[in-house]
A and B are shown apart, each in its own frame.
Chain A
Amino acid sequence: MVTHEIICAGFGGQGVMLIGQLLAYGGMIEGKEVTWFPSYGPEMRGGTANCSVVISAQPIGSPVVAEPDGLIAMNGPSLVRFKGAVKPGGVIVYNSSLVAEAPELQGVRICAVPANELARELGNDKIGNMVVLGAFLGLTKAVTVASIEAALQQVLPARRHHLIPLNSAALRKGLSLVEG
């Protein structure tokens, strides 16, 4: 199995830390080695947030991802900051609701997901992160959608478990975008 080195980035509040954690939990559920490392420190509300996720069959060295093979960018500043670091052959999934101009990069697969509009269609403005994650899973096969659904049971507190069907619907919506 390949090692997946992923950066998830966006505005605070867009759920980028959550989708990073779901990827890590999903990998753990699949019996793989995983790390999740957040940006932390003097962060501010509305500022940018990001996390590094590594999923591997082998013991993991650095948990800090400098050259990702997968990037999830939920806003423009995150795409600008990280797109140049993505390895050749890598994948970028970005939220085209908040990015006017599509990035052009040689040798990197780029997928635009209008996350905000699709979230609204699903009936919850906060679910855009899961649509983007669904598309990312379809392109990278980092973990299965079923593993993310199992991870939701562990990551979300019990009082939020009624939202799991909505999260599943959003994941599968994202997946359908890339599984033509």
Chain B
Amino acid sequence: MERVMMKGNEALAEGAIRAGCRYFFGYPITPQNEIPEYMARRMPEVGGVFLQAESEVSAINMVYGAGGAGARVLTSSSSPGISLKQEGISYLAGAQVPCVIVNVARGGPGLGGLNPSQADYFQATKGGGHGDYRLLVYAPGNAQEMVDLIGLAFDKAEAYRNPVMILTDAIMGQMMEPVVLPPLRTVAPDQPWATTGKRGRSKPNIINSLGLVGEDLERINRELQAKYARMAASEVRYEADGVEEADLVVVAYGTTSRVARSAIARLRQEKKKVGLLRPITLWPFPQQILAELATAGKRFLVVEMSAGQLVEDVILGVNDREKVAFFGKLNGTVPTVREVYDRIRSLLSEGGEG
């Protein structure tokens, strides 16, 4: 298979095209600008639409329109821009419109900075917009997963009629790595629920998130919760590397999982038993494996570029706060391999295994 070198952002864009996405609506912001730049060139080549909207709010509502017509549609932005899209995301979730949203996260809150960050974890996994809704959230760990997971994201968005988010960060977006691209798929925008005219049906399809009458809203929410339960039961993905024999399991996703992997490789050369659990879906979260590892007596270290967001889900899974240590970076810098290495070493020696 031919390997080609791509930036993570470009890999996401080409991966979307290969998965049959033919509509992109967005608004520029660093560090995701390679996605719209790539789409502006590439979409016309495949007969698709690239449109730079006048704002993020406009772009997400264009996504609502195209998704409602059954098309595979993508928008991308970075943290402050994703905040602007939250109303639209809530509506998309409420109306059960499939789409894919990419967040190449940067530091916040507010305008923040351009450096990588994982501080949008809560926003991505716990809501962000109003109401009781869930997104399926994928966190790629390399450029190949950018390609593979965005393809999967479109399939799952349609299968569940639900928005899917790719949560990544500036390093993953800017970094170049070799990827193997899948063949180009063409997917007809032909969904039985889509609002594309009655075409001989007696009743029109309606896409709406309004539930004013009687107990409509409770029924809608029960349906949504049943769907989220199905997603939680079937869609958990993670990578477990050496966790069974480990004394300490590092939990990290995306960029920090890469740093952790380098630190773990050094420690293994010193015969230390350290494993890596890398959630690939951030929602649904791999609670079950954490519970099993906790029962087996493991301790855990969560490494993330935030004040502590992922760590809350890890504590829920482990169900024992004492077993979970935390190492976070706040200032938009990436933890170094040495910092993570040192932290693991000191945890191992506290536990008497150093």
A interface vs B, CB < 8 Å?
Answer: 21, 24-25, 28, 33-38, 40-42, 58-64, 66-67, 154
Contact = CB atoms under 8 A, between A and B. Distances in A.
A41 B30 contact: yes
Contacts of A63: 171, 175, 177, 258
B293 to A, nearest CB: 21
Given A62-B258, A62-B337, A21 B114 contact: no
Given A61-B258, A64-B259, A66-B336, A41 B114 contact: yes
Nearest to A151: B5
B267 to A, nearest CB: 12
Contacts of A64: 171, 259, 334, 336
Contact of A61 (B30, B175, B261): B261
Interface of B: 3, 5, 30-31, 113-115, 170-171, 174-178, 258-265, 334, 336-338
10 contacts: A33-B178, A35-B175, A37-B171, A37-B176, A40-B174, A60-B177, A61-B258, A61-B259, A63-B175, A66-B336
Given A34-B177, A61-B258, A61-B262, A40 B114 contact: yes
A28 B3 contact: yes
Given A28-B3, A64-B171, A21 B176 contact: yes
A33 B334 CA distance: 22
A47 to B, nearest CB: 15
Q: Which of B170, B171, B338: most chain A Cβ within 10 A? A: B171
A41 B261 contact: no
Contacts of B115: 41
B175 A24 contact: no
Contacts of A40: 30-31, 114, 170, 174
Contacts of B171: 37, 63-64
A24 B177 CA distance: 8
A61 B260 contact: yes
Q: Which of A42, A64, A154: most chain B Cβ within 10 A? A: A64
Nearest to A155: B5
A60 B338 CA distance: 16
Contacts of B265: 58, 61
A28 B336 contact: no
Given A25-B5, A35-B175, 11 more contacts: A33-B178, A34-B178, A35-B176, A36-B177, A40-B31, A40-B170, A61-B258, A61-B262, A61-B265, A63-B175, A154-B5
A37 B334 CA distance: 13
Contacts of A61: 258-265, 337
A28 B337 contact: no
B178 A28 contact: yes
Contacts of B114: 40-42
Nearest to B113: A41
Q: Which of B5, B171, B261, B336: most chain A Cβ within 10 A? A: B5
Contacts of B178: 28, 33-34
Q: Which of A25, A58, A61: most chain B Cβ within 10 A? A: A61
Contacts of A42: 114
B43 to A, nearest CB: 21
B133 to A, nearest CB: 33
B332 to A, nearest CB: 10
Contacts of B3: 28
B20 to A, nearest CB: 27
Contacts of A34: 5, 177-178
Given A24-B5, A64-B334, A37 B175 contact: yes
B174 A38 contact: yes
A35 B259 CA distance: 13
A63 B334 CA distance: 11
* CB-CB nearest 7 A-B residue pairs: A61-B262, A61-B261, A41-B114, A36-B176, A62-B259, A62-B262, A37-B175
A99 B230 CA distance: 64
A28 B115 CA distance: 27
B260 A28 contact: no
Contact of A37 (B174, B260, B263, B338): B174
A67 B338 CA distance: 9
Contacts of B30: 40-41
A36 B142 CA distance: 12
A41 B337 contact: no
B337 A36 contact: no
A28 B1 CA distance: 13
Nearest to A25: B5
Contacts of B264: 61
A7 to B, nearest CB: 14
Nearest to A20: B176
Nearest to B335: A62
